[in-house]
Amino acid sequence: MSGEYVSKLKRRARTFLREALSVEDPDLAVFFAEQAMQLYTKAVCFELFGESVRGHRIRELLAVLIKILEERGFKDVANELLEFVDKYRRVLVVAEEVYTMSRCGEASYSGEEAKRVAESASRLVEPLEEVVGAVKGVELG
Q: Specify whether the CB–CB gap between 70 and 78 falls below 8 A.
A: yes
Q: Mind listing the pLDDT tens digit for each residue in 78-133?
A: 999 999 999 999 999 999 888 777 667 677 899 999 999 999 999 999 999 999 99
Contact 116, 91 (CB under 8 A): yes
Model confidence pLDDT, tens digit, residues 45-62: 999 999 888 888 999 999
Helix (H, G, I), strand (E, B) or coil at 50: coil
Cα separation, 52 vs 20, whole angstroms: 25
- CATH entry, 2-140, from 3.10.310.30, 3.30.360.10, 3.40.50.720, 1.20.120.330: 1.20.120.330
Task: Enumerate the domain spans of the chain.
Answer: 2-140
Task: Note the pLDDT of residue 141.
Answer: 46
C-alpha distances out from residue 61 to 26, 38, 43, 82, Å: 24, 7, 11, 12
pLDDT for the residue 1: 45
pTM for this entry: 0.91
